[in-house]
Structure 1
Amino acid sequence: MNKKYILPSILGAAVQFFTVNPPLFAQGNTSIEIAFLADIHLQDVYADLKSSDFEGILNPKTGEFATIRTMNSQLNSTRLFNENYFAFLAALENLRKKGIHLVVLPGDFTDDGQPMNVLALQKILDYYSSNFGMRFFLTTGNHDTVKPFGGIAGKRDFLGNDGQEQAIAGDRNLFPSLEVAQSDQINYWGYTEVTEALANFGFFPSEKDLFWAHPFQDLDYENYSFDQAKVSSTLEIRTYSLQDPGLKLPDASYVVEPIEGVWLLALDGNVFTHSGTDLKGSSIGFNEASKLKEHQLAWIKKVTEEAEKRGKTLISFSHYPLLEFHDGASNEMAALFGERKFQLERVPTSEVTELYTSAGIQIHFAGHMHINDTGVFQDKTGKTMYNIQVPSLAAFPPAYKTAKIKRKDQFEIETIPLTEVDRFDEFFDLYRIEHRWLTQNNNSSTWDSTILASKNYEEYTQNHLKGLTKSRFIPSDWPENLVSLLSALSNPELIAWSKMDTEEGTVFLSEKLKNFDLTNIESSKIIDDFYLLKNGDELGKRLISEDRIEFYDELLPRIIEKEITTGSSPNKDLIQFFRIFEKFYHSHPSDHFVIDLKQNTLKKLED
């Protein structure tokens, strides 16, 4: 982390002329604004590996040695590893210019919590804190504390010399069949190391805050003392038992009042279970945390009651969602695609959502799924919870959210896309070297190089999603017949099918499948639109062409009227698919909207 390139030069020379913004509440300011940046997955792309085995690959554009992952690895991952570094800096610059000082990072702020990545994040956040008065509040995700107490780790897919893969590990024996560059900078850090390095960003009390507490102490607002809070905030105190009474695991949850009247409730939803002699992390979230962290749920109830009693605006955030995030289509997706497809095990059950709603959470910001979505749940008593899914900076749609608190119970939420990101194409020439090596060696991992023609960061992430859909999502999640139908049928044929009865439609689709060459399946425009909607919601819908919008506006109302038969048939599968598609197509507002907790309303705002 001693490379001069990271800051401030990465922001350009003009940064030295910036002045510190005025205090958060200038006179006359009538609202509070908070930004939410999720799933940054920061990897230090110009890291000092502190190893003589491998410095990185020389980037002629900068004269620095880049420590980046291959494009092939990116096109097989739900997240980018490299360009998101620049997206994060672009987002921070955007916030600086807007004068937003409170910033929440709801987990996966690093890519696997290695020293080189945690320290890179620390340096960036310290820079914006000290120079521009910004405050950051973090909670852990499954990619920040992969193992609760750390451990040996490595990656086999860094880009090496001549375009080949280079394995880097803390121990050469991790990849016995490969030539490994050894570096302790790639090992996992645990809770102790991660929270100590990022201690200034919410994990521990600060003199700047009016109040701070964690689940393992009394919630004593009246007698709050910073000195006392500091003494009682050590991670050794903040532990719970995992079945085995002798094993204590950390819980980094906390509640903080950074400015008068606003409480931020940071929920550490990570859970770990025994896997042989080791502890295995889970990506499931609150379906498991509600059982293994019962102490946390009881504490949440105390916090929400205290916030209500004292007239505080309480905003909950975690890496994990508390509410179904597929616009009510998760059960239908399980029926069509399978219960373990589309990461459906990560969807909170209605019982779990009801538990946290009953505990008093009304508005919750989450990441983890790399999607843009708004979910609403109301229990039998009338209690309502709003779950706001913050998109990732490392995937489509690349965006963050802001919440403007106009009064105690009213929030204006806006989604800010990162369309233009300076230097997003910094490594494209290096990827061309990789592509040339794969092509020359007739490697089966050769990828479509047209992604390197992307004109901006949004287009780049959209092309990444298309590549991922073809290489990973369709082969792993989709029934072959459904992909064939969506590839074979033209728009006029689908409209004609929508007017047929069940028997006629079944015969028509069977004939189409009989004459369709399955070996020539390409990604369907409908499937691409499906992922634009599933991942991007309103942001994705904007990217669907006008003629296709007209087509869906004609087709989908007809599908809703069609009867779903029992048994299995291409006709039934197609109806089920378009019913799921319709729910994504007509979703709750997720771009720019107002939530009124007092009136229990969700209203879209037109730009």
Structure 2
Amino acid sequence: MLVIAVQVTVFGQNEAGIKVAFLADIHLQDVYGDFQSEEFRGVINPRNGKLATIRTMSSQLNSTRLFNENYFALLAALEDLRQKGIKLVVLPGDYTDDGQPMNILGLKKILKLYSGQNGMRFFITTGNHDPVSPFGSPGGKSDFLGENGQTQAVFSLQRTDQSSSAISAEIRYWGYFEICEELKDFGFSPGKEDLFWTHPFIPFDYEGYDFQSISEVSSIRTRLFPDPKSGLMLPDASYLVEPVEGLWLLALDGNVYSYSGVENQMDSVAWRGSSIGFNLASKTKAHQLQWISRISQEAKKRGKTLVSFSHYPLADFHNGASADMKKLFGAEKLQLTRVPDEQVSKLYSRAGIRVHFAGHMHINDTGSLNPEANEELINIQVPSLAAFPPAYKIMNLKTDHIMEVKTQLLQKVDRFDEFFDLYKIEHQWLSQKAGLDHWDLGILDAVDYLDFTQQHLQELIRLRFLKSDWPGDLGVLVNGISQYQLAEWLEAPSSDREKLLDSYFQSIQKSNQKGPLMEDFYLIKNGGDLSVGLIPTDRMEVYRNLEKKNLNAGKGTLNGQFADFLSIFGKLCKGLPSDEFFIDLVDLSVKRVD
């Protein structure tokens, strides 16, 4: 493993250290945007009389993210950072819904406001939602909220299967060239305040750095590499920036696109995106690994602290349970295809990555390539502002070898209920239609944004996850088993458990009983330490002690599946701290803040 010795003795931001905020997976949709279409301009919000360009609540509750309220969550997070005096802000991808012009420009307006009035500096990298396709493509959605609670389709081109759709060029998917040009002031191009900036396709020259010269060779149109399968040239938006003395931020573009073989490589159907991340990027973007190795060597030579960020994770984020989860649920369930292989993690560790901030998964986690020794690489999963738990991270380089990471939960968000009256109209319309899954109106009683996202997760489990990810009987059992029944099963002799579990299952099927275990599992899987306070102490004590129980059971039975599930849950309850912690940059040990 290449070890980067951190030798910085004077930090460039203030005496308290260098503070950087990480806001991941904002998925911003401009909720009062302009479609520039006479066919549909939005739906009037009775709260304020404005035309709202929002998606239906039904679509939100079948998605792993919110589409609407996260707009206000971003504003709340930025206002929180303004009050804290934090000036450096990283957005690790998926900062918009799908890279549409309306949403990119909406984000740009917000970032320019906070950079202009408050002196914030933003550093962006790409995500699988921006850009969806490297050179852009037609786009649109069929689930905007229209008049009288009905859905309204809006597409950039007319579709034969959507005869009633409105047409708006503002909803097409922009590619690299458009996105990086519009957002060039936020990391994709060098800034006048940067002490240093470079990218993989120019010679490294720290001593001869000149802003004017580097600006002339920073265009995304020249930052191209040959796709190994097609030989065609694709953009790579990776860059390195030194925003303040002593800190190097390494932005890694982990997006991967597969070529369909059509004659025109700029055709909208020529490329298909992927959400896999570095398992593929390590193969298709080998030039990045060579560049990372050079950058890490230069950082060591100059005594810089190198911190990488990308949309995609670089280490397991299930506390070592991913292999067991694949066996129980299936390799493509629970988004397990996004877990980086250990060998891939080692490639980036050997290249010099030590501390990495990632998004993509909408979870809160701290992972290590070698969790037993706390060495080689630390991967910090930044939660999404658009899902439970809604939170962001603050990194503080307190000394030359100590990094502190704090997780800021967004509980109170002004205006989070601004569209609730419109949702009530939608629910009323849905209630009149037979055969449709109705979402629970109780979510509109949420007392704050944290409560709202937790109820969003509850509905997501009911409407989507139980159907798509769980083996049928196991899902019914875990969703229904009571706290008492779980305790009884755990204390029973192994020889009695199968019969006992069968009686539970029969009872659950007959009574449609619902217990807390399923939701608690998702709270811990997604929220880590942030969820502990939301689960009663007695239940958390049971979960933390699962690894001490004898969970061996016969394979191929429901009892065996349940035992395997509890073993997985026990692992998820362990692991490195994910709320507030210190990282020793010498040995990469992680310690909880007392």
TM over 0.5: yes
Q: Partner residue of 1:157?
A: 143
TM-score (normalised: structure 2)? 0.94
Q: Partner residue of 2:118?
A: 132
Deviation at 1:597, TM superposition (A): 1.4
Give the letter aligned to residue 572 of structure 1: G
Q: Partner residue of 1:601?
A: 589
2:173 to 188, 204, 212: 188
Give the letter aligned to residue 100 of structure 1: I
Q: Partner residue of 2:505?
A: 513
Give the letter aligned to residue 482 of structure 2: S
Q: Partner residue of 2:79?
A: 93
CA distance in 2, matches of 1:535, 1:56: 33
TM-score (normalised: structure 1)? 0.92
The answer to whether the 8 Å contact 1:139/1:267 transfers is yes
1:249-299 Cα distance to aligned partner (Å, 9 max, x none): 000000001111110000000000023532000000000000000001110
2:426 to 423, 434, 438: 434
Q: Partner residue of 1:17?
A: none
Deviation at 1:29, TM superposition (A): 2.1
The answer to whether the 8 Å contact 1:152/1:187 transfers is yes
Deviation at 1:437, TM superposition (A): 0.7
Give the letter aligned to residue 539 of structure 1: L
Does residue 525 (structure 1) correspond to residue 516 (structure 2)? The answer is yes
Does residue 564 (structure 1) correspond to residue 549 (structure 2)? The answer is no
CA distance in 1, matches of 2:372, 2:566: 30
Aligned to 1:385, what secondary structure does the other structure show?
strand
CA, structure 1 residues 114+510, in 2 after alignment: closer, same or farther (shift >3 Å)?
Answer: same
CA distance in 1, matches of 2:513, 2:356: 39
CA distance in 2, matches of 1:294, 1:522: 52
Of stretches 473-482 and 485-494 in structure 1, the one that deviates more from structure 2 is: 485-494
Aligned to 2:524, what secondary structure does the other structure show?
helix
1:197 to 182, 185, 192: 182
1:336 to 328, 341, 344: 328
2:529 to 520, 538, 562: 538
Q: Partner residue of 2:52?
A: 66
Give the letter aligned to residue 319 of structure 2: D
Does residue 37 (structure 1) correspond to residue 23 (structure 2)? The answer is yes
Q: Partner residue of 1:259?
A: 244
Does residue 214 (structure 1) correspond to residue 199 (structure 2)? The answer is yes
Deviation at 1:546, TM superposition (A): 2.8
1:52 to 16, 38, 43: 38
2:254 to 269, 279, 282: 269
CA distance in 2, matches of 1:54, 1:434: 17
CA distance in 2, matches of 1:522, 1:268: 46
Deviation at 1:235, TM superposition (A): 1.6
Does residue 371 (structure 1) correspond to residue 363 (structure 2)? The answer is yes
CA distance in 1, matches of 2:281, 2:515: 38
Q: Partner residue of 1:15?
A: none
Q: Partner residue of 1:20?
A: none
Q: Alignment identity in percent?
A: 52
| RMSD value, Cα | 1.9
CA distance in 2, matches of 1:379, 1:224: 39
CA, structure 1 residues 408+167, in 2 after alignment: closer, same or farther (shift >3 Å)?
Answer: same
Aligned to 1:236, what secondary structure does the other structure show?
helix
Give the letter aligned to residue 119 of structure 1: L
CA distance in 2, matches of 1:361, 1:332: 27
Q: Partner residue of 1:450?
A: 442
Give the letter aligned to residue 192 of structure 1: F
Q: Partner residue of 1:549?
A: 540
1:199-244 Cα distance to aligned partner (Å, 9 max, x none): 1000011121111110111111111121221111122221111135
CA distance in 2, matches of 1:182, 1:550: 55
The answer to whether the 8 Å contact 1:322/1:387 transfers is yes
Tell me the matched-pair count. Answer: 577
Q: Partner residue of 2:379?
A: 387
Residues 575-594 of structure 1 correspond to what in structure 2 (within 5 A)?
A: 575-594=563-582
Aligned to 1:156, what secondary structure does the other structure show?
strand
The answer to whether the 8 Å contact 1:139/1:319 transfers is yes
Does residue 502 (structure 1) correspond to residue 503 (structure 2)? The answer is no
Of stretches 332-341 and 390-399 in structure 1, the one that deviates more from structure 2 is: 332-341
CA distance in 2, matches of 1:180, 1:472: 26
Q: Partner residue of 1:242?
A: 227
Deviation at 1:545, TM superposition (A): 1.8
Deviation at 1:503, TM superposition (A): 2.7
Does residue 483 (structure 1) correspond to residue 466 (structure 2)? The answer is no
Of stretches 438-447 and 276-285 in structure 1, the one that deviates more from structure 2 is: 438-447
CA distance in 2, matches of 1:583, 1:380: 13
CA distance in 2, matches of 1:112, 1:105: 15
2:466 to 457, 468, 474: 474
Give the letter aligned to residue 228 of structure 2: Q
Q: Partner residue of 1:12?
A: none
The answer to whether the 8 Å contact 2:21/2:89 transfers is yes
CA, structure 1 residues 495+552, in 2 after alignment: closer, same or farther (shift >3 Å)?
Answer: same
The answer to whether the 8 Å contact 1:103/1:137 transfers is yes
The answer to whether the 8 Å contact 1:560/1:579 transfers is no
The answer to whether the 8 Å contact 2:99/2:129 transfers is yes
The answer to whether the 8 Å contact 2:12/2:245 transfers is no
The answer to whether the 8 Å contact 1:414/1:592 transfers is yes
CA distance in 2, matches of 1:239, 1:522: 57
CA, structure 1 residues 411+523, in 2 after alignment: closer, same or farther (shift >3 Å)?
Answer: farther
Residues 215-364 of structure 1 correspond to what in structure 2 (within 5 A)?
A: 215-244=200-229, 246-275=231-260, 277=262, 278-364=270-356
The answer to whether the 8 Å contact 1:334/1:340 transfers is yes
The answer to whether the 8 Å contact 1:312/1:408 transfers is no
Aligned to 2:534, what secondary structure does the other structure show?
coil
Give the letter aligned to residue 546 of structure 1: T
CA distance in 1, matches of 2:435, 2:240: 51
The answer to whether the 8 Å contact 1:167/1:179 transfers is yes
Give the letter aligned to residue 98 of structure 1: K
